[in-house]
Amino acid sequence: MKERKTLWMRYVNFEKIKDLLHIVYKNNASLTAGELEKKGKEEEILLREDGKEMSHSPCYHYRKVMEGLGLVEVKEKCYRVSEKDKVRRLLQLTEIKKPMPEDAKEVLREIIVENEDCRKNFFDIFMKKNKYNLYELRTYGTYAMVKTKSMEESIESRNKRGRAKVRKKKRVGPIIIKNPTGKEIKLETQDSIHAIYWGVRLWSFELGLTDELMINFKEGRIIYPINTNFSENEITEEIIEKIKNDNTDNEWVSLYLPLLTKEIALKKRFAISQIKKFLHVLKRRYPTFITFTPSSTLFIDIKTPFERQDEVIRRLYLFKNGYFYSHLNIYKKFLKEVKL
């Protein structure tokens, strides 16, 4: 086998990967690379979002991701489905052009986490040991922070015009992903940045393996493996502790939602969407004891100079009926009402 000099990981839509896998299965050991691409376009799988056919380059990456993950093998220039149990299971659980069910996504998550290239280039940053499985990643993984060259630049004052000017500035590498113990991954080439930062990182995020948050541009992006053992009681206990630690004479305690969500996320590693969903539930359960303070998008977005980072910052705020909310206000008598 010819050794690859570049990393094979690139951003792909795994629904399309699944569909291509079914095409290979139906035509096992009979399609060459060109024939697979042609078939993928005829079946309206290898299409862009605008409905036009993909160019050769993205088609190539889809094939290489399938090969790299061990979903398919190339023998005598033709593609055949891998004999691995997990690949067979993935085929059994899915249908072409139908969304993957959750159990199929779980198989895919296992395949990705067990892949040697994905581990050493991304998932290892969250773990102390080199050998681990999906369960251990979820149970024992730590968080990691992302630093880029642009984050090191001091942006002390930004008016509207200044922010627009910074937004247009091109960000360049290296990108450093570093965990609390000092272990780091340094992405210095365009190949590694496309493969790891825009490839595996986004696979992991979109498949719910990891979650991401950012309070402000200076602190940067934080990535952590999601603990799937979500607990409403554990979040409620964190809020109760905040109330008990308030030494003021005020009857209400006001908690900044981005900071509260960040602290819970990094301590418990629950998904941000689940944390926010429960805060809405808590408000419905105790409507006279809990209120939310609205915030403007202008105030939120000023925390980053780049438009593409606005979304990850906004994720830490609650959103309902067209409004963002920045603070959770709790009446202290909530302590007597809450039941765990």
Domain boundaries, the chain: 14-114, 120-225, 232-337
- What amino acid is encoded at 241 in this protein? E
Task: Name the pLDDT band for 155 (thresholds 50, 70, 90).
Answer: very low
Its pTM stands at 0.88
**What's the pLDDT at 300?**
55
Write the pLDDT tens digit of every residue in 276-306. 999 999 999 999 999 999 886 655 555 454 5
The secondary element (H helix, E strand) that includes residue 186 is: strand 184-187
Residue 112 has pLDDT above 80, yes or no: yes
Distance between CA 327 and CA 324 in Å, rounded?
10
Across the chain, mean pLDDT equals 89
**DSSP conformation letters of 274-291:** HHHHHHHHHHHHSTTTEE
Lowest-confidence segment of 110-119, 156-165, 190-199 by average pLDDT: 156-165
Closest-CA residue to 207 (of 311, 279, 137, 283) = 137
Contact 294, 214 (CB under 8 A): no
**Residue 313's pLDDT band (boundaries 50, 70, 90)?**
confident
Q: Which fold has domain 14-114?
A: Arc Repressor Mutant, subunit A (1.10.10)
Cα–Cα distance for residue pair 300/306, rounded to 1 Å: 12
Confidence at residue 216, expressed as pLDDT on a 0 to 100 scale: 80
Per-residue DSSP letter, 200? I
Where is average pLDDT lowest: 112-121, 246-255, 309-318?
309-318
Q: How far is CA 81 from CA 13, 20, 28, 35, in A?
A: 19, 10, 7, 15
- pLDDT value of position 172: 55
SS3 for 5-45 is: CCCCCCCCCHHHHHHHHHHHHHCCCCECHHHHHHHHHHCCC
The confidence band for 320, taking pLDDT boundaries of 50, 70 and 90, is confident
* pLDDT tens string 230-280: 999 999 999 999 999 999 999 999 999 999 999 999 999 999 999 999 999
Q: Which is nearest to 26 in space by CA: 51, 43, 14, 50?
A: 43
Q: Give the side-chain half-sphere CA count within 13 A for 4.
A: 10
How confident is the model at residue 302, as a pLDDT?
Answer: 53
Share of the chain above pLDDT 90, in %: 77
In the numeric block, the tokens 């024939």 are attached to: 35
Q: Is the peptide bond before 180 cis (omega within 30 degrees of 0)?
A: no
pLDDT confidence of residue 152: 57
Q: What is the pLDDT of residue 218?
A: 78
For residue 153, the model assigns a pLDDT of 53
Name the pairing type of β-strands 144-148 and 78-81: unpaired
pLDDT at 159 over 50: no
Structure tokens at 230: 């979500």
Q: Is the pLDDT of residue 220 over 90?
A: no
CB-based contacts of 170: which residues, under 8 Å, 6+ apart?
Answer: none
- Are the C-beta atoms of 272 and 316 separated by less than 8 Å? yes
- Do residues 14 and 94 touch, judged by C-beta distance below 8 A? no
What is the pLDDT confidence band of residue 124, given thresholds at 50, 70 and 90? Answer: very high
Which of 126-135, 167-176, 252-261 is predicted least confidently?
Answer: 167-176
| pLDDT of the residue at 160 | 46
pLDDT at residue 3 in the model: 45
Mean pLDDT over residues 18-37, rounded?
A: 97
Positions of E strands within the chain:
72-75, 78-81, 144-148, 175-178, 184-187, 210-213, 221-225, 252-256, 290-295, 318-320, 323-331
Largest CA distance in the chain: 78
